[in-house]
Structure 1
Amino acid sequence: IFSIKVIRNKQTGQTEGYGFVEFHSHGTAEKVLQNYAGMLMPNTEQYFRLNWATFSTGDHKRSDNVPDLSIFVGDLAADVTDSMLLETFSNRYPSVKAAKVVFDANTGRSKGYGF
């Protein structure tokens, strides 16, 4: 594991119930997803919800045949926009190409997560 970030409420300091784990290699991350997704967390009644997705922006194909990878970002505030999410991650990770907040097609409201 390269780094772990537990997301906390700024006012209370309590955990928001999610975080990020950065691995040294793609293969290690893939093994963790395969072995722990849906498993019961130790000392809790909650299950691991590990997420990872792939997408490409436009029809451009990368010449190195490595897929673009995305991460699931949950518990977003209702006012978070695509540009806010992009700025948050691209400041720390320059390889970030895009960000997308998911909205309900019927109500137009944020579903509270994105990629």
Structure 2
Amino acid sequence: MSMQCQLWMGSLEPNMTESFIVAAFHRMGQRPLTVKVMRNKFTGEPAGYAFVHFQTDEEAIDAMHKLNGKPIPGTFPVVRFRLNTASREARANMQSEREFSVWVGDLSSDVDDYSLYRIFASKYSSIKTAKVILDSSGYTKGYGFVRFGSEEEQRNALYAMNGYTGLGTKPLKICTAVPKPKGAPTGQNQSAPNAANAAYNSGTGDQSAAAVAPAAPVADASATAAAAQAAKTQNDDLQLVEHKKTIDIDELNQEFLEPELSLWDGLESSQWFPNEIVEAH
């Protein structure tokens, strides 16, 4: 897969110049050849993204996995690296290829894209990408995706890597990830792995997958609370109406007649009579 040795870098602040970005990569141990910050062709203002050129595709993909999601040095408030494959050809190829991905759960907080990539790449030669899903604050959600170029290796990983120890502090949970149907809605409060497709899509660009889990992982607290509230609401809507209530007819009649009797009692005590009754006497 030719990437033309480039990465796309997004979410740039207006003050992030080419020299600033190059320096940030250098401080993270990476050596890009050039950086080109793109500008609005009408206003000349920075467009919020850049292209980072490396010596080889291997260096570019290594930098993407190593830096994605990590804080960019010299930014306050903290801005994180947001990197992806750059060329249209590479992105088109990734879309057109069949996706052989696995969902990886029970990732501890010390596991990042690069460590996830390295552990699988050391065992499987067809690894394309690895992505740990982060929340809006940049903290891991405890799961991620690994994409293979070989279906055979993907299937092997489902069994060989399930329960694997040596990455982070917990044994890994592995299950199949399948492409997300086009046009399918993406709920923000769904739990992983069933709604991990949305996070995977936003985290890696063109790849989207939904996990098919033999054993579902623990959802985050917000997702659990939302699901509980939804279930409660649904249960309230579906409550049965009690049709066996005992009806006391005498009590109902008394409630109906009481206002009428009170009226007549009031008329009688006031010594008021209608005209026709007076004339009759």
TM class by shorter chain equals 0.3 to 0.5
TM-score for the superposition, normalised by structure 2: 0.22
Task: Give me the TM-score of the superposition, normalised by structure 1.
Answer: 0.47
Greater share of residues in helix: 2
Answer 1 or 2: higher relative contact order, Cα 8 Å, separation at least 6: 1
